[in-house]
């Protein structure tokens, strides 16, 4: 029994209506009723004329941001974007994700049919979240690589007679991102009255750096009991260098397993899309019949279970 083909215009119109409904939901239904106009908040600034689409987008962004402020641990929040080094607002990222999913669904349906449209509709947000995770991982790795040199600059500045805050400020000016961004944030927060230890613990949590947490604890202990902070940080730096050396060795030894796992995970997906591109009639069994949908679902479940199994096998613990 063949599944009747859905006209392309129906699918495109349906996706467009859903996307429009989501935007209107946040722009009209969830819009705050207590927002003062710009003319009252800043009477010296004349509001520039904006199009209706711009006003609608700004309203949607404001409404989404207001809803996300009360929720932590959402799919995309400010903390996750900060960890990735992105300056965008969560609402902007969510709107870009929705627009990308809409475009991917339309393009996939026009090129490969209903199933490909659904796959691309889900693949675009997943791809954006995966890219966000990659940016976070790269930023954390670069921060860990910069930490020993930054610690050496700190101890050198303190031995030259500078205070701890002045040494952190000098290290921020001499370092590259993301180290310079995090150290500058520490300086700015302490200037407005926040405790130095809290700011440093925040940096270690945001960057996922256990080594920086050790540095923060060493500085906090020194503030309570006194002593030669430069010498203490030198010992901490030696420990960090030894840990980094072991980490690089473990990473090199596990690289082959990670590459094998990536090939095994990607091979069925690549072959499926290659089959569709070479001869679409071969793939109609999977894309146009009920048993084909069941087989694709079973393959997806088995591939996901295999991915978690491979991840558990190749993830080193030390």
- What one-character-per-residue DSSP string does 260-291 give? HHHHHHHHHHHHHHHHHHH-GGGGHHHHSSHH
Give the CA distances from residue 317 to residues 212, 247, 254, 266, in Å, rounded to whole numbers and listed in that order: 20, 10, 11, 25
Q: What is the pLDDT of residues 7-34, one digit of tens each?
A: 556 556 666 666 666 665 555 544 544 5
Residues 6+ apart with CB under 8 A from 50: 58
Tokens of 124: 């675009």
The predicted model gives 38-65 an average pLDDT of 53
Tokens of 258: 């990670």
> Is 263's pLDDT higher than 60?
yes
Alpha carbon distance 142, 208 (integer Å): 12
201 C-beta neighbours (distance < 10 Å), count: 16
Tokens of 163: 């205070």
Sign of CA dihedral 208, 211, 214, 220: negative
Alpha carbon distance 218, 40 (integer Å): 49
What's the Rg (C-alpha) of the chain? Answer: 26
> Is 47's pLDDT higher than 60?
no
Q: Are 204 and 216 in contact (CB under 8 A)?
A: yes
Higher pLDDT, 186 or 64: 186
> Is 50's pLDDT higher than 60?
no
Q: Are 164 and 219 in contact (CB under 8 A)?
A: yes
| pLDDT number for residue 69 | 55
Q: What are all long-range contacts of 269-275, with beta carbons under 8 Å and residues at least 24 apart?
A: 269/303
The answer to whether the pTM exceeds 0.85 is: no
| pLDDT number for residue 265 | 86
Q: Are 94 and 78 in contact (CB under 8 A)?
A: no
- Lowest-pLDDT choice from 9-23, 131-145, 175-189, 296-310: 9-23
Tokens of 76: 């995309």
**Residue from 111, 88, 47 nearest 103 by CA:** 111
The predicted model gives 97-116 an average pLDDT of 81
| pLDDT number for residue 187 | 92
Alpha carbon distance 178, 160 (integer Å): 25
**Residue from 172, 148, 163, 113 nearest 238 by CA:** 148
| Band of residue 278 on the pLDDT scale cut at 50, 70, 90 | confident
* Phi and psi angles of residue 23, each rounded to the nearest 5 degrees, phi first: -65, -45
| pLDDT number for residue 48 | 46
Higher pLDDT, 205 or 27: 205
Residues 6+ apart with CB under 8 A from 88: 81
| Band of residue 1 on the pLDDT scale cut at 50, 70, 90 | very low
* Phi and psi angles of residue 163, each rounded to the nearest 5 degrees, phi first: -75, 170
| Band of residue 39 on the pLDDT scale cut at 50, 70, 90 | low
Q: What is the pLDDT of residues 112-149, one digit of tens each?
A: 777 788 888 888 888 888 899 999 989 998 998 899 88
> Is 59's pLDDT higher than 70?
no
């Amino acid at each position: 029994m063949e599944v009747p083909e859905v006209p392309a215009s129906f699918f495109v119109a349906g996706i467009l209506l859903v996307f429009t409904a989501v935007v209107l939901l946040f722009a009209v239904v969830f819009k705050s009723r207590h927002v003062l106009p710009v003319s009252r908040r800043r009477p010296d600034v004349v509001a520039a004329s904006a199009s209706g689409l711009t006003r609608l987008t700004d309203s949607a962004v404001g409404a989404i941001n207001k809803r996300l402020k009360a929720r932590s641990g959402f799919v995309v929040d400010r903390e996750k974007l900060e960890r990735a080094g992105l300056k965008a607002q969560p609402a902007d990222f969510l709107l870009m994700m929705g627009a990308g999913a809409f475009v991917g669904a339309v393009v996939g349906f026009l090129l490969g049919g209903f199933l490909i449209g659904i796959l691309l509709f889900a693949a675009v947000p997943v791809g954006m979240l995966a890219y966000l995770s990659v940016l976070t991982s790269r930023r954390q790795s670069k921060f860990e690589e910069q930490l020993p040199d930054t610690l050496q600059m700190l101890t050198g500045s303190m031995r030259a007679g500078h205070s701890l805050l002045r040494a952190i400020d000098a290290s921020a000016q001499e370092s590259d991102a993301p180290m310079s961004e995090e150290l500058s944030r520490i300086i700015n927060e302490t200037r407005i009255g926040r405790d130095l230890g809290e700011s440093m613990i925040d940096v270690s949590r945001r960057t996922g750096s256990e080594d920086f947490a050790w540095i923060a604890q060493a500085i906090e202990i020194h503030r309570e009991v006194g002593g030669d902070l430069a010498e203490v940080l030198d010992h901490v730096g030696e420990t960090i260098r030894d840990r980094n050396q072991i980490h690089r060795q473990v990473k090199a030894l596990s690289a082959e397993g990670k590459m094998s796992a990536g090939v095994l995970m990607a091979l069925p997906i690549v072959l499926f899309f290659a089959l569709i591109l070479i001869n679409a009639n071969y793939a109609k069994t999977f894309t146009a019949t009920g048993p084909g949908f069941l087989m694709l679902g079973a393959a997806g479940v088995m591939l996901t279970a295999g991915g978690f199994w491979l991840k558990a096998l190749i993830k080193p613990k030390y």
